[in-house]
Amino acid sequence: MASFLEGSLKKAVAKGFKGKLLKGIVRKVVASAVNNQGDIVPTGIRDYPFEGIRENFSAYYKAQAGIPDTDVSILIILGLTTTTPDKDDKIYINGTWYQVRKILEIDPAGASAKVQAFSIPLP
């Protein structure tokens, strides 16, 4: 059952931020196969547009939490996309591709998700 937070507030946040943040892409593997060594090989991908921001962790926070120096935080407004990011998804924002290392937080209203990600070469 959807609560007020999961509906109206999510829509209000999306409306308030629409067109004001960076545009990006969440790329998901939608199908996969296993090769002869048992490694997963993607056979299909799907791109989902989103709006959000890329942030840096403070040096103090990185040191205390054991976060690698190369990692960044990416905030995704969930009301402006049709997907929720998962671990290992690829994200394109501000001219760079990233891979999601960890989902840090999805707020109680389901209006935004914050992920920890690291830069990768063109997928």
Q: What digits encode the pLDDT tens for the residues 76-123?
A: 999 999 999 999 999 999 999 999 999 999 998 899 999 999 999 988
Residue 16, φ and ψ in degrees, nearest 5: -65, -35
Judge contact between 55 and 74, C-beta under 8 A: yes
Judge contact between 77 and 96, C-beta under 8 A: no
Kindly report the pTM of this predicted structure.
Answer: 0.86
Greatest extent of the chain over all pairs of C-alpha atoms, in Å: 49
pLDDT in tens, 15-43: 999 999 999 999 998 877 888 888 878 88
Ordered domains of the chain (ranges, CATH): 5-120 (2.40.10.270)
Would you state the pLDDT for residue 5?
A: 59
Neighbours of 95 (CB within 10 A): 7
Name the band, by pLDDT with cuts 50, 70 and 90, for residue 4: low
pLDDT exceeds 80 at position 74: yes
The secondary structure element, H or E, covering residue 10 is: helix 10-17
* Measured CA angle at 112 (ends 107, 116), to 5 deg: 90
